[in-house]
Structure 1
Amino acid sequence: MTSDIAVHTEGLTKFYGARRGIEGLDLEVRAGEVMGFLGPNGAGKTTTIRLLLDFLRPTRGRAVVLGLDPRRDKAVLHRRIGYLPGELAFPGRGRADELLRFFADARGGVAWSHVTELADRLELDLSRPVHTLSKGNKQKVGLVQAFMHQPALLILDEPTSGLDPLVQHEFLGMVRDARAAGQTVFMSSHVLAEVQQSADRVAIVRDGRLAAVERVESLGRRAVRTVEIHFDDPVDAAEFTVLPGVSDVVVSGPVLRCTVDGRLDPLVKAAARHSVVDLLSAEPDLEETFLSFYYHSEPHGEGAVDAARAGA
């Protein structure tokens, strides 16, 4: 594996008895990119992360992280990773600054000015005891400890859980800054919108299997659009229901409404046979696209995965 690959998995599989956590995961995360790891709760995202960190042992398959073996090189590897778990549990009754100083010392020393800068960005009061903090403020402590030592790889499990929208926006700014500094970010989420602004690519998992790997912009091009066309004269719905990618066709006199999955070209060419007064196309909703991938499509991600490996 080359140094430009931060995370590499081959056939990574974990079963809990008869229940599948993740199966046959083949994934590469490039060094210096932000990869969104997307799927509904229970899809296998947290299982994958725990396997990468050697908190779980795989049933079969393997993972290489920063060129190291997660089991054999665990101690070295963990010093180079910033990890935010999906479920935070901080021990003791100390203040936030005391807990973060402990983490800083454990990592060989971190400039305290950098810690306070991160806390200020997230509007975190470091003087408060951690056990008194709200879920959102505990999440901020978790984010600071993950980012504070400027790790080569950030592994973030549902990082915006409990954060208000303004803090979510600041967090995404931190992710973009990390990428600009050459760090790699692997960020799991069940909400596509929160990675849309910062991710280079997204990997979508469903039912423990990889469904697709896409660049964010290409996923948008696959998106389902709502289209409304106004003609000079009434049109026949049958002319449009046979078009590829066109569904939910409703015609009311000279107005046609439909849903288009993929390219608009077939619909536009069919409409051009008539006199068009107006055409309205709603912006693709990436959340709808994600749901379409997850609930309606067959596991067609193999082609997308191959394209991604080829540099798509």
Structure 2
Amino acid sequence: MPEIIKVQGLQKRFGKFQALSNVTFTVEAGEVVGFIGPNGSGKSTTIRTLLGIIKRDAGIVEIFGKDVWKDSIEIHKRISYVPGDVSLWGSLTGGEIIDLFIKLHGGGNQQKRDYLIERFELDPKKKAKGYSKGNRQKVGLIAALSVDSDLYIFDEPTSGLDPLMEAIFQEEVEKIKVAGKAILLSSHILSEVERLADKVVIIRQGEIVETGTLQELRHLARSTITLTTEGDVNEIITVNGVHDFTLKGNKATFFADNEFLNDVLVKVSTLGVKSFECVPPTLEDLFMRHYKG
């Protein structure tokens, strides 16, 4: 698949503070990349660099093979961006603002606009000064999704939305992914990233600490196993890679390093299994691995 975003060795310093250090990742066509990290980790600085708002100190940052600083005007014709806090003109209605955003982009789909307004349950005739934060986000999302872009950059896009609207956003993202569009999704809702992302990029203190598909990254954390056996389940403690073993009644729960799962299964099979459940690590487990403490 063609490379839509290319970030290689990105460096950015504000005075003595090193905001970004050797940030490297890619986003390809038809791919959703989850970009995660806590406040202050460098997510927004990276995104502002991609948008040509901040000039990098070093490294390669390209979208569509073009330099994001020198060719930002050309690049912006083909991207849609939604920030985590959408600012609107208070005297205009939501519908007027959506139409203005679409016009500034260079054209959109009126039928798609109307469909999205209905889906997101937005009152387009209400003035923006009366909108809640969630409704302001809806205006930004509807405008971004109403135009045909090749790259969508979402920076905490569902901030302020209720769970039902979050689900609708996720469904719309899956549609544009199927259409072959590239999506960079920065979100604090890890379940949202886990559902949508093909690849995850975890940033910590301005540096990329993990990159890969969830399947590739899951070997970095432990699976949770719950089981009951006819034999003495305490024998599981002797197996390599077993951690935090607890027993309640006849039900044992413990963590197991994925590299030792086969050893666990071999041992369990000798104990007369009555029930067995193995849950792979979630994105939250992977995330907390890097941020614990």
TM-score (norm 2): 0.90
Q: Counterpart of 1:82?
A: 80
Counterpart selection for 1:196 from 194, 197, 204:
194
* Alpha-carbon distance, 1:235 to partner: 5.4
Counterpart selection for 2:227 from 226, 229, 234:
229
Q: Counterpart of 2:253?
A: 257
Structure 2 CA distance for aligned equivalents of residues 253 and 193 of structure 1: 32
Q: Any conservation in 2 of the 1:250–1:257 contact (CA below 8 Å)?
A: yes
* Alpha-carbon distance, 1:221 to partner: 5.7
* Alpha-carbon distance, 1:229 to partner: 3.4
Structure 2 CA distance for aligned equivalents of residues 157 and 294 of structure 1: 21
Q: Any conservation in 2 of the 1:219–1:289 contact (CA below 8 Å)?
A: no
Paired residues in the alignment total: 292
Cα deviation code 1:215-260 (max 9, x no counterpart): 13444565533223333343556x635613x211235796543112
Matched, 1:24 2:22: yes
Cα RMSD for the two superposed structures = 2.3
Q: Counterpart of 2:264?
A: 267
Cα deviation code 1:101-149 (max 9, x no counterpart): 2122222232322211221121111111111111111000011122221
Structure 2 CA distance for aligned equivalents of residues 252 and 234 of structure 1: 13
Matched, 1:283 2:241: no
The sequence identity of aligned pairs, in percent, is 33
Letter of the 2:264 counterpart: L
Q: Counterpart of 1:161?
A: 159
Structure 1 residues 60 and 165 mapped into 2: Cα distance closer, same or farther (>3 Å)? Answer: same
Counterpart selection for 1:243 from 240, 244, 258:
240
Q: Counterpart of 1:207?
A: 205
Stretches of structure 1 lacking an aligned partner (at least 5 in a row): 298-312
Structure 1 residues 255 and 152 mapped into 2: Cα distance closer, same or farther (>3 Å)? Answer: closer
Q: 3-state SS of the aligned residue for 2:196?
A: coil
Matches within 5 A, 1:97-246: 97-220=95-218, 222-234=220-232, 240=237, 243-244=240-241, 246=242
Structure 1 residues 114 and 257 mapped into 2: Cα distance closer, same or farther (>3 Å)? Answer: closer
Stretches of structure 2 lacking an aligned partner (at least 5 in a row): none
Structure 2 CA distance for aligned equivalents of residues 88 and 161 of structure 1: 10
Structure 2 CA distance for aligned equivalents of residues 252 and 74 of structure 1: 60
Q: Any conservation in 1 of the 2:225–2:279 contact (CA below 8 Å)?
A: no
TM-score (norm 1): 0.85
